[in-house]
Amino acid sequence: AQSVTQLGSHVSVSEGALVLLRCNYSSSVPPYLFWYVQYPNQGLQLLLKYTTGATLVKGINGFEAEFKKSETSFHLTKPSAHMSDAAEYFCAVSDRYGNKLVFGAGTILRVKS
Amino acid sequence: GAVVSQHPSRVICKSGTSVKIECRSLDFQATTMFWYRQFPKQSLMLMATSNEGSKATYEQGVEKDKFLINHASLTLSTLTVTSAHPEDSSFYICSARPGRASLNIQYFGAGTRLSVL
């Protein structure tokens, strides 16, 4: 079975500050890991994904995440927050076939001016 | 990029009626579509997986007779909530997966908020 824990349902940062959204996973098989972003009244948009290979993954809008097997983590970071980054972020895990995405509860990111 | 359209975005219905939600992949063919349900402040939970031309596979605890899924074409899947009750009120989200080349990528619709009175 797979599961995802996102630490912090709400994160608030100042514009220009580092963004760090935490995600830990549990998986009995090698995981595929994803970060999705959801803006109000919109669908989930894929930010980035890890499947195999390089553990530091770069995504859209300046976000990146690092897969750390020893820590079972896949934290999302961005060096400098922008107002447009305010949204809800979901971490998800699947098996290699992508048949079933298991989501975390989501983290709402607020960016203060 | 790949676009998934979900309609309606919001629906309010009376208890006992049935509601149909449509999920369309606009610019790609989706061999597989997924239906999720999201309760307030909770994760998206997979309800069922539908493959074009075959019966949907439901997750444990999801009533297949209550949540009817049809995937009649490579671009359209529908979810019908039959005899809806207030406890069915929720946010329903669909996703679509292109063919084998993108086996592990799902593209999501904007969701449908169902309120049953």
> Which chain B residues are within 8 Å of A87, Cβ to Cβ?
none
Tens digit of pLDDT for each residue in A17-73?
999 999 999 988 888 999 999 988 777 899 999 988 899 999 999 999 999 999 999
At residue B16, the pLDDT reads 96
For residue A16, what are the β-bridge partners? none
* Secondary structure of chain B as H, E, C letters: CCCEEEECCEEEECCCCCEEEEEEECCCCCCEEEEEEECCCCCEEEEEEEECCCCCEECCCCCCCCEEEEEEECCEEEEEECCCCHHHCEEEEEEEECCHHHCCCCEECCCEEEEEC
Contact A36 B109 (CB under 8 A): no
B100 pLDDT more than 70? no
Work out the angle at residue A105's Cα, subtended by the Cα atoms of residues B35 and B64, and round it to the nearest 5 degrees.
25
The predicted model gives B72-76 an average pLDDT of 89
Instruction: Give, in order, the Cα–Cα distances in Å from A72 to each of A75, A105, B77, B94.
Output: 10, 17, 35, 28
CA distance to partner chain A, nearest, from residue B84 (Å)? 23
For residue A24, what are the β-bridge partners? A5, A73
Contact B109 A9 (CB under 8 A): no
Candidates B105, B111, B103, B113; CA nearest to B2 is B105
At residue A28, the pLDDT reads 84
The predicted model gives B69-78 an average pLDDT of 91
Neighbour tally for B43: CB within 10 Å: 20
